[in-house]
Structure 1
């Protein structure tokens, strides 16, 4: 298939849907493994954010104390402080976090690390290293990833047990634009079962699997398992492989609101 080409809509559904049931369990296990890995990233982010502040706080107890002088205040967030380490003059740009007002050539109390005199803080200013801000990214990624992986593991596990108990049932799916105005779900899956019952399904928010890739396929034979908020729609194949592609979803019977969404 050429890159960018729209694949032909399959005319035959999943040949052996029962063989795909164990795959749902594997998806649950994979998410369960990813959850603690993201949790480790989250903990690492906390360490990166907190470490500069704890190291700075420790200087109040373990650092050498000397009098310093404010030699310049270039802006509201910084000031240059001069202090002496034995016979060596040092000048450091201090990051201001406190609301205390400082005057040029005013006296301040400096606490510096005896092993690294360039690392210092003031009595009212932590002067924490700015690299702590770098921890915000792994903090956010780790938190979102751990939550989504945990929800994914639980969601796939529920769907696996439901499909294992009740099996798959054939249906025809058409991916359409959501006309209800709900921007959180730009696409809906319109399902028609063998007995003509219609329903509308939305992909779950905790999973990256989306029906977007099937928006140009038109009416497609699929297999459906589970029910209500624990539905799974099994498309005949993925876009990058010939294997069936399950999408976790939640469904509602066709009503006024859902009819508008799938119109």
Structure 2
């Protein structure tokens, strides 16, 4: 299963990377596709999306098999005993759905940030392209070259604007080498002579480009995780709504390489071992506590009436490591 998870995440990241690049190319007016570039990118996008969908299908195969084998959820939960468990369990189920909605809102926010990063990079490129098309071209001379340890390398260029000689700094990213005294063609905005570039160096707004790249990289890394978390909460919410909650005494194990386990004993004496799913919702340190459990298979939730660091209820997403054991002796 871990192998298919890696494949699915990798396919999603490839889709996001090439999707952002293709969108940028299509929205940039002066971008010219090389022969076969656009069909190649379309093939990569289609293939990565298909691989991600197939990986997700394979990841959910165990859930489908388990549910088909045990349609009444008896492998994970005992029958309802009718005994009071404490608390408003219907309200807890509703709160679980609100958790799913919050996770979805977070995923949407990251999608917006990712799109905003792409828009910022495209906007900076369009401003530079518009200046190249409409600006005034004059001869200029490189007066100094800077190669900072951090940040973009730059050149300072002297050129003549109407009635004044100006020196402006231009960021360079073309890879071309410059030396003091080299001639360049400067393009400046007559309404704002400080807005300049050369015919080679776009001199894009570095703050805008840096901000856009930061959002793109952050979204590229976080968006798949946020979307996966939101989908997981929705699936768990539906599973708990179908099964209801069962009270249990749980023993929280130590957090070993983020694979924390919870051993649960139900009122009928049966038990089950649950593994915490990757999430910010953690059960805290080792302890023996009373809790409720709902869901089935890989879509289960442990509800603690009080979290380790807050007074309200805490929902911890878990996966069953196997079916529950048969009753040994009732828990008193």
TM-score by length of 1: 0.78
Going by fraction, where is helix more abundant, 1 or 2? 2
Is structure 2 residue 265 aligned with structure 1 residue 192? yes
Tell me which residue corresponds to 2:163: 87
Tell me which residue corresponds to 1:154: 231
Secondary structure, aligned partner of 2:321: strand
Retained in 2: the 8 A contact 1:39–1:143? no
Going by fraction, where is strand more abundant, 1 or 2? 1
Retained in 1: the 8 A contact 2:259–2:275? no
Aligned positions of 1:1-263 closer than 5 A: 14-75=86-147, 77-131=153-207, 132-142=209-219, 146-179=223-256, 183=257, 185=258, 187-194=260-267, 195-203=269-277, 205=278, 207-212=279-284, 215-216=285-286, 218-239=287-308, 241-253=310-322
Secondary structure, aligned partner of 2:121: helix
**Structure 1 stretches of at least 4 aligned residues deviating more than 4 Å after TM superposition:** 140-146
* TM-superposition CA deviations, 1:9-68 (whole Å, max 9, x none): xxx975343431122222222333343333222222222233222211222211111111
Unaligned runs of 5+ in 2: 1-83, 324-332
* TM-superposition CA deviations, 1:139-165 (whole Å, max 9, x none): 344555654443333222222221122
Retained in 1: the 8 A contact 2:124–2:205? yes
Secondary structure, aligned partner of 1:177: coil
Retained in 1: the 8 A contact 2:244–2:294? yes
Deviation at 1:79, TM superposition (A): 1.7
Unaligned runs of 5+ in 1: 1-11, 255-263
* TM-superposition CA deviations, 1:111-136 (whole Å, max 9, x none): 11122111111111111121020223
Question: Relative to structure 2, which stretch is displaced further, 234-243 or 105-114?
Answer: 234-243
Retained in 1: the 8 A contact 2:291–2:302? yes
**CA-based RMSD:** 2.6
TM-score by length of 2: 0.63
Retained in 1: the 8 A contact 2:141–2:181? yes
